[in-house]
Amino acid sequence: MLNRIIQENFRAGGSRAALVFGNERYTYARLEEQVARCAAGLRRSGCEPEKGVALVLKNSPEFIFAYLAASRLGIPAFLVDSGSKSGELRRVFAENRVAVAVCEPDHVSSLEQVRELTGQHFSIY
């Protein structure tokens, strides 16, 4: 349902503002482009209904792109508090099948450690 509503708005919205974040403005057309690119990247990285994406992001346009891309593909999006410590990250990843983790740059090393400790094979972006 969410995906259908979003698609209808993308088609009808065109050059109208869909997302404003600080000084950045995304038209519906630009937002559609970003979501499509993100969806293609998630698909190439192995996301599927049984193996989703972990979003370890603060409130940002990238969070919106990744979340909507996951919805478009019908894959689970695991929303992870970007303030989580390594123990909490390890628990979330141990309990879920993750193909991709999308994160802030300062979380890359923590997620690399989680990948080693859990034995999961997931890409980090």
> What DSSP character marks residue 2?
H
Q: What contacts 83, CB < 8 A, 6 or more positions away? A: none
Question: What is the C-alpha to C-alpha distance for residues 51 and 7, in angstroms, rounded to an integer?
Answer: 24
- Average pLDDT value for residue range 13-41: 91
Percent of the chain beyond pLDDT 90?
Answer: 63
Residue 9 has pLDDT above 80, yes or no: no
Residue 21 has pLDDT above 90, yes or no: yes
CA-based diameter of the chain, in Å? 46
pLDDT tens profile 58-96: 999 999 999 999 999 999 999 999 888 888 888 888 899
pLDDT of res. 5: 67
DSSP helix/strand/coil, 86 = helix
- Kindly indicate the confidence band of residue 4, based on its pLDDT and cuts at 50, 70 and 90: confident
- Average pLDDT value for residue range 6-30: 83
Residue 28: CB atoms within 10 A of its CB come to: 19
Q: If 0-12 CB within 10 Å is exposed, 13-18 middle and 19+ buried, where does residue 22 land? A: exposed
- Kindly indicate the confidence band of residue 30, based on its pLDDT and cuts at 50, 70 and 90: very high
Give the residues across from 123 on adjacent strands.
100
What are 28's two structure tokens? Answer: 């519906």
Q: Which of 3-17, 55-69, 100-114 has the lowest mean pLDDT?
A: 3-17
Asked whether 50 and 97 are in contact (CB, 8 A), the reply is: yes
Mean pLDDT of the chain: 89
- Kindly indicate the confidence band of residue 41, based on its pLDDT and cuts at 50, 70 and 90: very high
Query: In the block, which residue shows the tokens 């919205």?
Result: 13
| Main-chain phi, psi angles of 84, to 5 degrees | -65, 140
Query: In the block, which residue shows the tokens 């990843």?
Result: 93
